[in-house]
Structure 1
Amino acid sequence: MEKYKSDYERYEEAKKQVKEIKGFYVHSFIFTVVLIFLIFINLKYTPEYLWFIWTLGGWGIGLLFHGLGVFKVMPFFGKNWEEDKIKELMEKEKKNGSSF
C-alpha cells in the first residue's frame, strides 16, 4: 500500500466523507420529523398507551449506529480495523508459509 496519497485521492475521500455526513444529517432530520408526527398521533388518539416509544427506541438505535459509523467513533470493525487485520493475516501467512 502506498503511504502517501495524491491530492485527488484525498479529495475523493473527503468528498465521500462529506456525502456520508450529509446522509446522516438527512437521516436525523427525517427521524425528528417522523417522530414528532408519531408523537402527535399517539397523544391525540391513544394517549393511554405510548407506542411511539418503540419507534423512538428502535429507530434511535439505528440512528446512533449510523452516526457512530459516519463520524468514525466506533473503534471496532472500522476501516482501520480491516486494514490492520488484513496486514496481520498476510504477515501470519508469510511467516507460516501457508494459505488461509
Structure 2
Amino acid sequence: MSSQRTEEEIRSMAQSRVAEKKGFFIHLTVYILVNALLVVIWAITSSYSGSQFPWFVFPLAGWGIGLLIHCLTVFAFPRAGSDWERKEIQKEMDRLRKDS
C-alpha cells in the first residue's frame, strides 16, 4: 500500500479536522453562555437570600475539566483518536464488503 495519500483522502481528513474544531468551538460557546447564566442566577438569588456561597464554581469547574480534555483532543493530540477511527472504519467497510 502506498504511503502517499490521495486528494480524496486528504480532503476527507481535512473535513474531519474542521468538524472536530467546529465541535470544540460550539462546546466552548455553550460553556460560556450557560456558565454566565449560572453566575447571573447566583448573583440574583444570593442578593435575595443573603447566601453568598458561590455554588456556580462546581459546574464551572467540572464542565471546565471536560472542556479542557475536549480542547486537548482537538488541538494538542489531534491524531490520538483519528488513526483508531480510520482503522475501525476500514474494518467495518471490509466486513460489509465481505457480507455483501
Relative to the length of structure 1, the TM-score reads 0.71
Q: Per-residue displacement from partner, 1:46-65 (whole Å, max 9, x unpaired)?
A: 35110000011000000011
In structure 2, relative to structure 1, the CA distance for the partners of 1:70 and 1:43 (3 Å cut) is same
Aligned pairs (5 A) from 1:1-100: 2-46=2-46, 47-71=51-75, 73-74=76-77, 78-79=80-81
Aligned-partner Cα distance in 2 for 1:33–1:80: 30
For CA contacts below 8 A with separation 6 or more, give which structure has more relative contact order: 2
Which segments of structure 1 move beyond 3 Å, counting only runs of 4 or more? 79-82
Query: Which structure 2 residue ranges, 5 or more long, are not aligned?
Result: 85-100
Identical amino acids, percent of aligned pairs? 34
Higher helix share: 2
- Size of the aligned set, in residue pairs, is 80
In structure 2, relative to structure 1, the CA distance for the partners of 1:80 and 1:23 (3 Å cut) is closer
Q: Per-residue displacement from partner, 1:51-87 (whole Å, max 9, x unpaired)?
A: 000011000000011011011x149x914886xxxxx
Relative to the length of structure 2, the TM-score reads 0.71
1-10 vs 18-27, greater mean Cα deviation = 1-10
* RMSD, aligned α-carbons: 2.2
